[in-house]
Each structure stands twice: as C-alpha cells, then as structure tokens.
Structure 1
Amino acid sequence: MTTRFKHPTDIRLLGRRIMEARRARGLTLEEMSRLVDVHYTQISRIERGQAALLSKNMQKICKFLDISETRIMPAGPPTDLPQRVEELILKWPGCETLLLSILDGVEAALESRGGGN
C-alpha cells in the first residue's frame, strides 16, 4: 500500500533520517541497496526528498534502519522543538547562522543571570 505524505517537508525529513541512519551504520548506498533489495538510485532519491509516496520500498528501508512508523508519517505539523528547527532549516537553507546567533544570545542571557540555574 502506498500513502501520500501529508506535509511537503515530511519526505525531506524522512530522507534526512534515512541518510543519517544509513551513514551511522557505515553503509554506502550500494551496500544498503543489496541488503534491502532496493536499487541504490531509488534510495538516493528518497534520501534527497524526491519521493511523494510512502512506498513498499521506502517501508522496507525504514524497517531495515529501524525507523518507526510513527516517525515516518507524523500526524500533523511538527510540535517538538528539534523537529521544528529541522523543518525550518529544510525550508530556509542558510538559516543556521541566524539560529546559532539566537542560541548564543540566549546562552549569554542565561550566563548573565547566574549560569542558567
């Protein structure tokens, strides 16, 4: 069964998770291709966020990499901070510098208040 992604950034977020999980295991695209029986070019397309459907092949990849179903298809817009930051970075490449500046300002404010405790 194939399912269409609910939000445009879902596939990019999933692709990034797949790439990170594959690399964390020290696998090349070709090695993973042999292990999951999905062509390496298709895995590459998925990792780059160039798929529109949650296909059987994508589900095989997620199962192999132990990426849970709930993380594949979020119910709605991201609500937790790390996921929101990741989505922002995907929507606005180059915003990392701005986000780091904001974090530096927050850390400086905490330090001036006595270490943030």
Structure 2
Amino acid sequence: MSAFHSEAAHVLGARIREARNQRSLTLEDLGALAGVHWTNIGKIERGQVHPSVETLVRLASAMDADPKVFVTGLTADMYPRPRHKLTANDLIREREERSRRRDAD
C-alpha cells in the first residue's frame, strides 16, 4: 500500500514522524511507549492509514505532546469528499422549511 489515505492522513503522519524524530525515538521505541505496534506507526507516518483517536492520544501521550499539535489545521476538505455536501445547518434549515410549508397548508 503506497497511496495516501487522505491529505489529512499525510499531514498528520508527517507531524507524528517529526515529533518522534525530534525525540530521537525509533518506531519500535514509540510503539513500546504507546502500546501501538511499530508497523502501524510506520503506516500512520506514511499517511497510509488514519489513526483512531485512541491511537493518536496514545502516541501523543508517549511523546509528552498534546494531541492537538498533530491535528491543528486539519479540515474536512482534506479528506475525500462525501457523496453529499450537506451540513447539519443545511439539514436543520430544510426541516424548518418543510415545517413552515406544512403549517401554511
């Protein structure tokens, strides 16, 4: 597997790798400290997979880092597009419009 999961996964992985390298930790070191298999960390760092929140917190905690440093600036636009472009606000507006139309009838 060589393709990125998403732009967000690529950016997140690069940030984790940079933090690990700044601390002079090997993948094996970080894996042992975080309780995450080192091969999974490698996949995360290469952007091939996107970690769960639990894994992200484990990695950050093992490096004495706040998980927000890894995710700051990531947006939904960095992930593959959903099939729809609706937001919760769009849904609420549509429901309110339907309710107004029913009340007017």
TM-score bucket (shorter structure): 0.5 to 0.7
2:47 paired residue number: 49
2:10 paired residue number: 12
Give SS of 2:33's match. Answer: helix
Question: Structure 2 CA distance, aligned partners of 1:27 and 1:70?
Answer: 18
TM-score scaled by length of structure 1: 0.51
- Give the partner amino acid of 2:68: E
C-alpha deviations, 1:7-54, integer Å up to 9, x for none? 921110010000010010000011111111110001001000011453
Q: Is there any run of 5+ residues in structure 2 with no aligned partner, and where?
A: 79-105
1:68 paired residue number: 67
TM-aligned CA distance change 1:31 to 1:16, over 3 Å: same
- Give the partner amino acid of 2:42: S
TM-aligned CA distance change 1:53 to 1:30, over 3 Å: closer
TM-aligned CA distance change 1:70 to 1:36, over 3 Å: closer
Percentage of identical aligned residues: 32
TM-aligned CA distance change 1:27 to 1:52, over 3 Å: closer
1:32 paired residue number: 30
TM-score scaled by length of structure 2: 0.56
Q: CA deviation at 1:72?
A: 1.4
TM-aligned CA distance change 1:21 to 1:63, over 3 Å: same
Question: Structure 2 CA distance, aligned partners of 1:21 and 1:35?
Answer: 14
* Larger Rg computed on CA atoms: 2
**Superposed CA RMSD:** 2.5
Question: Structure 1 CA distance, aligned partners of 2:7 and 2:42?
Answer: 17
Q: Is there any run of 5+ residues in structure 1 with no aligned partner, and where?
A: 1-6, 79-117
